[in-house]
Structure 1
Amino acid sequence: MKKVFNIDIQNKTRERQIDSIKNDIRKYIKREKGKKLPDGFNSWFFNCKFGKTQEDAKEIFFADIIKSVDLAQSENYASFYLEIVATAILKEKKSLNDDESLDKSEN
């Protein structure tokens, strides 16, 4: 998703439009997470960028997407740019033996 979201829309309050934008973002993320992973991968990773314009966009953490939308509302942005790109990755699973050995070494 690479999109400019308009907050100031005629006949809609800012709060209502922000809620609509957040809902669209959550639906997109849910749809991407539900897609079948390519062979050899076991998880999705999201590269995210946020800014007033596409040129000003800076990388943000996935967990900070909604906080960034709230920031746009509090800073009275008329619109903002949000980019979320899903990438398949291979996450290594932590084994219980590794966790136990770390706990023993700390004592």
Structure 2
Amino acid sequence: MKKTFQLQIEGKHPERLLEAIKHEIRQYMKRERRKTLPSQMDFWDFDCRFGLTEDTAEVCHVGAFMDRINEAAAAGAPAFYLELLAKPAQRRFVPRPAQAKPAAEDVAADDEQDA
């Protein structure tokens, strides 16, 4: 989705328009996530760019663009540009560091010291 959303349309209430825009974006994300994944991939990730115009759009995190939309609406911006591109991704599993289990002799020694 590459689209410029108008925040001020004559005859439409700004708050309802903002909610309609958010609904459209959420529906797009749900629709993209329902698509079948290529083999060896775990989930759909999104590349996101946000700005007041297409030229000034900057890369942002997927979880942060709703806050930016709210900020643009609160600042009275007439429009904003949003680019959401779905891409298949694979989770990176980082192994946890192995915790050394105390030897039985050490536990017994600690218990004797406590007594």
Q: Scaled by the length of structure 1, what TM-score is found? A: 0.86
Distance 1:29 1:85 in 2: 9
What stretches of structure 1 of length at least 5 have no aligned partner? none
Structure 2 match to 1:86:
86
Match of 2:39, SS state, is: coil
Match 1:99 to one of 96, 99, 102? 96
Structure 1 match to 2:13:
13
What stretches of structure 2 of length at least 5 have no aligned partner? 101-115
Q: Percent identity?
A: 32
Runs of 4+ aligned residues of structure 1 deviating over 6 Å after TM superposition are none
Structure 1 match to 2:60:
60
Distance 1:100 1:27 in 2: 40
Superposed counterparts of 1:43-54, under 5 Å: 43-54=43-54
Distance 1:35 1:93 in 2: 24
> Alpha-carbon deviation of 1:93?
4.0
In our comparison, the structure showing a higher alpha carbon Rg is 2
Q: Scaled by the length of structure 2, what TM-score is found? A: 0.81
Distance 1:8 1:52 in 2: 13
Aligned residue pairs, count:
100
> Alpha-carbon deviation of 1:35?
0.8
